[in-house]
Structure 1
């Protein structure tokens, strides 16, 4: 049956705000959304695995639309790094400047893992993925990495948080379904720019969590396109403007425009505009060269701005050294 029949235990305003989470539009909202993807592009693109100097562990927590009962809440854990990148003595040196521009001309393998849980009212989704990427040099200062996530995704409805016209409705006991899932991603980068393209839910499996007599809902493919440039303002300051485009049927194409200012590898601040949704302010810092902490606040500018107290997100990361003096241009982002 369609989830339209149960009555959510929310206010009318909340129902309007969460209307797009109902099954009629479920296929449009099957992927978790993050504001701080700039500090962890691996959540968008498996090709990012191993492109940095370090093995990176990151944990993110997001509370969307504060003030609404049952508002979206998301948590994730990622780990990714290179397996066999060579030492700096084997890296071809192209230019001698303060900021090292050294590249491994040989290909190398990377592995990673990605776990997330996202809940909106009675509807939740969880995923567990392993990731693999292969990284090659295209030119002296240009590399490309092709990667994939492969794993399982679970969708669940908590019947205890719903009310029903039919007291015998089997959905009261709750429903869940697990399906295999995969994503593909390509990441091209140097120390001056990056380009990325990824496809999530490439398998297009269908699921029927709601016992719909008309058949299940398909997992729609989500397309993400990213691009950014690294502008050196001085020996210590960098400006990184970037853009993210999201495409998924049947939702209109959306995009983010981002502007990030970075001081060495110590502090950064950024602002982002998400089309028809929010203005986002964020900042972060690095401790001891291996602990990253960042926070963002979304100022909602959609129809629910009068009711929402914004969205909060925090990301904490740990950098584990792969090998000493091994450099990669991705670290400049």
Structure 2
């Protein structure tokens, strides 16, 4: 399931809805069930359009645990909005902090290595991302780069022998198109291309909707997993959405893991539509003026 704000700050205040909305959401991913220390991730976000300055502002928090490694990011997001054609182009940065930690007590090497920490090590750095996002009535497309600052983290106990970890750049190209099959059924195929250190991975999905309330889809992540996705909207004006996906592992990990689970919950507040003032009717004993 896709969270545009986390991958592309250009989508701040725009999103993938038909109209700009104020949105709050959370996503929880439980990866590789059955493997001790497997990744567990949580994302929290909120963003809103500000029409007076043609902009959107937001915030997102990402928390990830994978064995002895822990990563936490807290970012403020901004995008400037330009109306182009029948859509909106958002361009902007995301600035925040990126904390990486290593719990040395969980490391159990066969041989004693003095470089490895014997306790917890943690370092905090500034983080910068940027992106562009275009949302039209029927489609969206985005380009973004995460972790533009080349930060290095040292988890070694020995100052003379640093153990460096560098957070790599992430580049994302995203796109999707909305088809109205019938009055009740719609279909939205989408694609994500991710590049990290010259390694490119593709993800594709197709989500079908019924009456803009119930959703079912399939997804594929290159050489990694195939997924089944379901979701539904609820509350007045379909303001809330719940989604769930299950990943079938396609690599060698399928012998030790039963798969991965992902849960999504969002709440949206539609942008208010300002109506023109009503005509003032003046009544007199002899005339009725409008």
TM-score range, shorter chain: 0.7 to 0.9
- Counterparts in 2 of 1:1-333, with a 5 A limit? 36-37=1-2, 40-51=3-14, 52-84=19-51, 108-139=54-85, 141-163=86-108, 165-166=111-112, 171-210=117-156, 213=161, 216-250=164-198, 252-288=199-235, 289-324=238-273
Give the alignment's Cα RMSD to 1 decimal. Answer: 2.0
What TM-score do you get using the length of structure 1 for normalisation?
A: 0.75
Retained in 2: the 8 A contact 1:155–1:209? no
Structure 1 residue 126, shift from structure 2 partner = 0.5
Structure 1 residue 269, shift from structure 2 partner = 1.2
3-state SS of the aligned residue for 2:255?
A: coil
Q: Name the structure with the higher strand share.
A: 2
In the alignment, the residues of structure 1 paired with residue 113 and residue 82 of structure 2 have an alpha-carbon distance, to the nearest angstrom, of: 59
3-state SS of the aligned residue for 2:117?
A: helix
In the alignment, the residues of structure 2 paired with residue 247 and residue 171 of structure 1 have an alpha-carbon distance, to the nearest angstrom, of: 31
Change (3 A) 1:206 1:170: closer
3-state SS of the aligned residue for 1:305?
A: helix
- Structure 1 stretches of 4+ with a deviation exceeding 6 A read 167-170
3-state SS of the aligned residue for 1:276?
A: coil
In the alignment, the residues of structure 2 paired with residue 275 and residue 146 of structure 1 have an alpha-carbon distance, to the nearest angstrom, of: 29
In the alignment, the residues of structure 2 paired with residue 192 and residue 260 of structure 1 have an alpha-carbon distance, to the nearest angstrom, of: 14
3-state SS of the aligned residue for 1:69?
A: coil
Structure 1 residue 265, shift from structure 2 partner = 2.5
In the alignment, the residues of structure 2 paired with residue 108 and residue 229 of structure 1 have an alpha-carbon distance, to the nearest angstrom, of: 25
3-state SS of the aligned residue for 2:74?
A: strand
Change (3 A) 1:258 1:61: same
Greater C-alpha Rg: 2
3-state SS of the aligned residue for 2:252?
A: coil
Structure 1 residue 320, shift from structure 2 partner = 2.4
For structure 2, the 5+ residue unaligned runs are 276-290
Answer 1 or 2: higher relative contact order, Cα 8 Å, separation at least 6: 1
In the alignment, the residues of structure 2 paired with residue 53 and residue 264 of structure 1 have an alpha-carbon distance, to the nearest angstrom, of: 20
Change (3 A) 1:143 1:84: closer
Retained in 2: the 8 A contact 1:281–1:297? yes
How many residue pairs get aligned? The number is: 266
